[in-house]
Chain A
Amino acid sequence: MMLKKLIPPKQWQPVVIALLGAIVGLTLYIAQTARVTSYLSDDPETCVNCHVMTPQFESWKHSSHREVATCNDCHVPHDNVVSKYAFKAKDGLYHSYMYTLRMEPQVIKMHQPGREVVQANCVRCHNDQVTDAKMSSWVANHSHDRTDRACWECHREVPHGRVKSLSSVGYQIQSLPVQGEKKDVIPTWLKDALKNKKK
């Protein structure tokens, strides 16, 4: 009954359909400009869709973690897919409205939930370095004692360093994809020239 009431009278239907189409089209256009699908991936380039993340991206890109870990390896949970995407969505939406409303701070700091996730991820990869399987069998609370302090209380430069504001990033032309991309170190002109080097 309710639904039926929403359906407009016959003569208005074409107009309403056109209007709805316009709204959907506009939404699609916005989704495309905002690179919405990229948020489903693990590509670190996604995180610099907002340029305020450039210092984080650049400092990561110049760290050794670049070789083994993407942004998502540290900053979203990895216990299961559902919590991964739930956390991503929650965090991402928060970021998006802070950014859209121009409320982002000059220096970006992690909130408590983020800190917990990152700590868990440090331990996830470095478990063998911080805990000892033998000791955990006879030392009470061994695992807990070795992992309850935030790793970055001591490892303060890992991986972003202490200088994180926008002004800490120098000139650059564009942020680059690093992970998974097969890069080519030979410029195109040289590749062509090598093909006909006999000339």
Chain B
Amino acid sequence: MSSKVKNWLLFLATVTVVVLLAMLGSNITDRKSESQFAYQPQVKIADNDPRNDVWGKNFPRQYESFLETKEMDFSSKHNGNQLKDALAGTPELVVLWAGYGFSKDYNQPRGHYYAVEDIHNTLRTGGPTEEGTGPMPATCWTCKSPDVPRLMNEIGIAEFYKGKWFDKGEQIHNPIGCNDCHDNKTMELKISRPALIEAFQSMGKDINDASHQEMRSLVCAQCHVEYYFNKKEPVEGVPYLTFPWKNGLTVEDAEKYYDDINFSDWTHSLSKTPMLKAQHPGYEIYQQGIHAKRGVSCADCHMPYKTEGGQKFTDHHIQSPLANPANSCQVCHRQDQNELMENVYSNQDKNKEGAHRLEKLLVRAHVEAKKAWDLGATEKQMQPILMDIRHAQWRWDYSVASHGGSFHAPVETGRIITTGIDKAQEARIKLAKLLPKLGFDGEVPYPDISTKAKAQKYIGLDMDKLEKEKENFKETIIPKWLEAAKKREDAMGVQTVSSK
């Protein structure tokens, strides 16, 4: 072979190697971009985008199942997803909460979809007419909307909590949704509310150490917990959302926390007791129960996996597992569905029985304490009685305000009610000793509170006025808020993936 031919062969071989290498390179680049298009999302989700429907464009299954929280079709023995008037069902509540917003209006909860609508409509938020008015602070918005992280980011945490509920009304529009629990880039679970992070710090823990399974409960614990508004720290005069977790997660731990700082949510208008209102210590009570101890998370039962056309995904129709026992309970429990439901109802019935006895005792205690005040009792005489009433009602409220308590931790809930009954009776024994000293003999009559209206009249609420104010608020203010929200969100636009 001549050297000329050899050189040509060498040349061709090099050409082939380079061409093949280049083809491989382009193949790899092709396939890499292909992987991007194979799972191409429709839109780019901006940081803290509060609009659930925008996230829903990329995650239609999750979004569409979230929309099912709109449904009002389920009623279990004691609860459900309908707007049921709890005060009408148990008028005693009106007396227990005398002097506090809950005596005006208290309904059984509906799905997350209604979070903003229901807080607009409740009489508890009143009928404010301008900035700086109304009975509730801005802090009440904290758990209602994915607009909250957005606004906190824009104006700062303390600034968000500052002022009245009315002042931030225009800003909060979307009901609880995607941006509350998910990272917009990775879809990993995230914590978007400072209070939970701070509560972990107060216990000496780092929330970043939470496992994925724990996160499937902690995103819920951002809101479904006991909390209070700290007006002293970290900013004087700002009702800063805080969880009383420093001493631990039990009812006594929180009670001690509040007693130590001398905190009360309101003063009872009949008995003058410095009261505590239990919010909804769902996470804390669940922690005391067997499901938590076995590592079952909130999402396991309230958001069980679902398949659609062979695709497995998390059902974002967050609801009572009793509405879907096949996918939530029966994944682990092989028993018959009716039997499982009966087990739950049996626990609920038994705790309800105790709780209802405690309610009646508490009404008596409040009324008898009022009688003692009327007869000229002194602060000193009343102080131990009021502490017993405070602790008894705190325990009652704690046991019922966490709606799932009788399921999540039936024994703990029963224990809380038992100690509540004990405290209530202590108060009444002390009252029974005090009343004769003040010159009263006999039984203080149980008030006629057989209906909600009678009970509200008894504690001196002017319901007509409240309702009129609310109507006015709904007619004049709400449309303005919605209009402003629409304008703001239209301006945000939607960035599709194909657009630059």
Interface residues of A (CB under 8 A from B): 19, 22-23, 26-27, 29-30, 33-34, 48, 50-51, 54, 59, 62, 66-67, 99-100, 161, 163, 166-174, 176, 182-187, 189-190, 193-194, 196-199
Contacts and interface: CB of A to CB of B under 8 A. Distances in A.
A173 B191 contact: no
Contacts of A19: 14
A166 B38 contact: yes
A50 B25 contact: no
A59 B235 CA distance: 47
Contacts of B191: 185-186, 190
A30 B192 CA distance: 41
B317 to A, nearest CB: 16
Given A100-B27, A169-B39, A185-B215, A197 B158 contact: yes
Contacts of A30: 21, 24-25, 28
Given A185-B191, A187-B190, A170 B313 contact: yes
Contacts of A161: 312
A193 B21 CA distance: 50
Contact of A26 (B22, B27, B58): B22
B208 A185 contact: yes
29 contacts: A23-B17, A30-B21, A30-B28, A33-B29, A33-B32, A51-B38, A51-B39, A54-B39, A67-B211, A170-B311, A173-B58, A173-B187, A176-B186, A176-B188, A183-B208, A185-B188, A185-B215, A186-B208, A187-B192, A189-B47, A189-B149, A190-B191, A193-B153, A193-B157, A194-B198, A197-B157, A197-B194, A197-B234, A199-B156
Chain A CB count within 10 A is highest, among B39, B157, B212, for: B39
B61 interface: yes
Given A197-B194, A199-B156, 11 more contacts: A30-B28, A34-B28, A51-B38, A163-B310, A170-B59, A173-B185, A173-B187, A185-B208, A186-B197, A189-B48, A198-B234
Contacts of A186: 190-191, 197, 207-208
Nearest to A168: B310
Interface string B175-203: 00000000101111111101001100000
Contact-size category for B: 35 or more
B429 interface: no
Given A19-B14, A100-B24, A187 B183 contact: yes
Nearest to B42: A171
B152 A193 contact: yes
A190 B194 contact: yes
A174 B186 CA distance: 7
Contact of A193 (B61, B187, B194): B194
Nearest to A6: B10
Contacts, number: 130
Contacts of B60: 171
Contact of A171 (B39, B48, B185): B39
Interface string B31-53: 11011001101000001100000
B194 A50 contact: no
B207 A185 contact: yes
A173 B192 contact: no
B59 A184 contact: no
Interface in B195-254: 197-198, 207-208, 210-212, 215, 218, 234-235
Nearest to B38: A51
A9 to B, nearest CB: 10
B18 interface: yes
Contacts of B153: 189-190, 193
Contacts of B152: 190, 193
B188 A167 contact: no
A105 B149 CA distance: 45
B31 A50 contact: yes
A13 B159 CA distance: 72
Interface string B128-160: 000000000000000000000100110011110
Contacts of B38: 51, 54, 166
Contacts of A190: 149, 152-153, 191-192, 194, 197
Nearest to A30: B25
B18 A22 contact: yes
Interface in B378-406: none
Nearest to B29: A33
Nearest to A191: B197
Contacts of B25: 26, 29-30, 33
B194 A168 contact: no
Contacts of B32: 33
A45 B183 CA distance: 19
Contacts of A196: 156
Contacts of B186: 173-174, 176
A64 to B, nearest CB: 9
Nearest to B27: A100
A182 B159 CA distance: 31
A26 B312 contact: no
